[in-house]
């Protein structure tokens, strides 16, 4: 499959949050570094709905040094660390409405040798089948915080349209009351790089 590496426009990120979480599936996530360019098709996402979502970092409109970028315009990167891993979110909705979409898994496309090196020779499926794994494989770091996805070195391009998409509860948010049951995780049905199917 030949992909034109043209970043998606700003208007793409201005979709309603849950719609964007689904629209991101099949898109190509690209990161350019001095070592080379790596990319992969997004196959799993999770939506976080801001002030009223107990699982969101911005629940209750909490503004901290870490979450401040979530209150900006749509289409920028929110990176942060969790258990020593860097995680990547796409900020969405309107300014001062702090929604975000976690990129949970990608299917590797370009830069495979570099990804393998960064993932210490693990089996290919384990390079990118989790949110902390994919950032390491692509070379995404905390320095990408606030970067806009419409321009290099970290950007998203058109990819393919998945045949079937599934939804279910988000992962790893047990202590968030009823929010842990919301079906705001989306994944490409049958894709081997999805972190968890149920």
The reply to whether 178 falls in a domain is yes
Q: Which token pair is 111?
A: 């830069």
Whether residue 195 lies inside any domain: the answer is: no
- Report yes or no on 4 lying in a domain: no
| Tokens 């040094």, residue located | 65
Report the C-alpha gap between 17 and 162 in whole angstroms: 19
In a domain? residue 55: yes
Task: Kindly give the parts of the chain with pLDDT less than 70.
Answer: 1-2, 60, 173-177, 197-198
How many domains are there within the chain?
1
Closest CA to 91 of 139, 45, 143, 146: 146
pLDDT in tens, 98-117: 899 999 999 999 999 999 99
| pTM for the structure as a whole | 0.93
Domain-embedded: residue 135: yes
**Per-residue exposure over 162-192, b if at least 16 CB sit within 10 Å of its own CB, e if not:** beebbeeebbebeebeebeebebbbbbeebe
Q: What is the CATH number of the domain that holds 123?
A: 3.10.300.10
Supply the pLDDT for residue 181: 82
User: Residue 47 sits in which domain range?
Assistant: 10-188
Tell me, yes or no, whether 198 lies in a domain: no
Please indicate, yes or no, if residue 193 is contained in any of the structural domains. Answer: no
């Amino acid at each position: 499959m030949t992909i034109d590496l043209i970043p998606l426009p700003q208007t793409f990120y201005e979709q309603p949050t849950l719609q964007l979480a689904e629209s991101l599936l099949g898109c190509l996530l690209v990161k350019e570094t001095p070592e080379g360019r790596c990319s992969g098709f997004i196959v799993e996402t999770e939506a976080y709905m801001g002030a009223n979502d107990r699982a969101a970092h911005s629940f209750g409109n909490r503004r901290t040094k870490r979450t401040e970028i979530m209150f900006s315009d749509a289409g920028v990167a929110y990176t942060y660390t969790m258990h020593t891993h860097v995680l990547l979110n796409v900020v969405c909705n309107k300014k001062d409405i702090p929604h975000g979409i976690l990129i949970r898994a990608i299917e590797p496309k370009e830069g495979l040798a570099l990804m393998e090196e960064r993932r210490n020779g693990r089996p290919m499926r384990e390079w990118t089948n989790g949110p902390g794994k994919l950032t390491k494989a692509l070379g995404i770091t905390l320095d990408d915080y606030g970067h806009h996805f419409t321009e290099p070195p970290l950007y998203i391009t058109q990819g393919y349209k998945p045949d079937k998409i599934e939804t279910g509860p988000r992962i790893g948010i047990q202590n968030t009351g009823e929010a842990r049951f919301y079906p705001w995780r989306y994944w490409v049905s049958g894709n081997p790089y999805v972190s968890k199917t149920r």
